[in-house]
Amino acid sequence: MISKQQKNKGIVFTSISIIEGFLVILVVALLLWFSLSRIMEIHVSVEENLNERHSIILANALISNENIAYIKDGKILRGVLDAEKLDKLFIKKSDFLSNIKLLTNDVDLGISYPNSIIIVLVLDLEKCSNNDCDGWIVRLRSLSSLSGISLLNFMDCLNSNIKVDVGTIFRFFLAPPLGGLWQPWDIDKCVKNNIPPSFKSFFNKNRISSQGFPILIKYKDSIHAGRIFVGLGEFI
């Protein structure tokens, strides 16, 4: 009789310890859920090359932009740029050599990222000789909400360090490892002297958008194959 009672007592003890264990798990789970959803603040950080993403979006937006794209019967032909519009808005290769101050003059196409330095280059791949292609270049107007940044000084600094050998410049866009509009140390020097440390440059990166996007260039009586390149530097 006594032993039966003690056996039952054992079963009761076991049930209690199991229930206690489950309760502990439940309390821990509740505490975790409560701390994660009500007390803790979770910040999302996404690792990405923001400049590259913005360059890709901007290049895509530019090839659909009515200011430079070819319009037929009131419809934008995406990816087909109008040579006449480019002549009016962009600076041609020949003028680029004679007017080295082009970067201090900007053009408003209605689209650009704020607090950025954006340089757009369009190349006609069917007008090339000795790895040197004809093309257009422009700096897009960008709204600036930042104070204390000497953007003009920065552009002057870039102008003074720009390569006048256009052949080399265009070869960069065709084959990036060969060189660039600026040498990396030139940009670094200009950034160091005029721009706060939060400046992120994409001018010398060899990623997707620095390879350019394929486009067509519509002349009066012909269509040529070309590429568009977007160089971007952002104050983040």
Partner 1 sequence: MQENVWKGLAASDTIGILLVILTTIFFLVYILPTLFSTIIETLARSSPENVARQVSSLISSSTISTFESRIEYSPGKDKEYKIEIFDRIVKVGIKSKLAYAEKTESKKPILIDLSYKGEDVNTFIISKKFEGVSSYDFKATKK
Q: Which is nearer to partner 1, 69 or 83 (CB)?
A: 69
Radius of gyration of the chain (CA): 30
Q: Which is nearer to partner 1, 118 or 166 (CB)?
A: 118
- DSSP-assigned beta bridge partners for residue 83: none
- Report the interface residues with partner 1, using CB under 8 A: 3, 6-7, 9-11, 13-15, 17-18, 21-22, 25, 29, 32-33, 36-38, 41-46, 53-54, 57-58, 60-61, 64-66, 69, 74-78, 110-116, 143, 145, 234
Q: Which is nearer to partner 1, 113 or 170 (CB)?
A: 113
CA distance 9 to 5: 6
Q: Which is nearer to partner 1, 15 or 183 (CB)?
A: 15
Q: What share of the chain is helix, strand, coil (3-state, %, to 5)?
A: 45, 25, 30
Q: Which is nearer to partner 1, 111 or 128 (CB)?
A: 111
Residues with Cβ within 8 Å of residue 234, at least 6 apart in sequence: 50, 51, 54, 113, 115, 116, 117, 199, 200, 202
Name the minimum Å distance from CB 35 to partner 1. Answer: 10
Name the minimum Å distance from CB 14 to partner 1. Answer: 4
Name the minimum Å distance from CB 111 to partner 1. Answer: 5
Q: Are 213 and 69 in contact (CB under 8 A)?
A: no
CA distance 83 to 94: 15
CA distance 144 to 124: 32
Name the minimum Å distance from CB 52 to partner 1. Answer: 13
Name the minimum Å distance from CB 109 to partner 1. Answer: 10
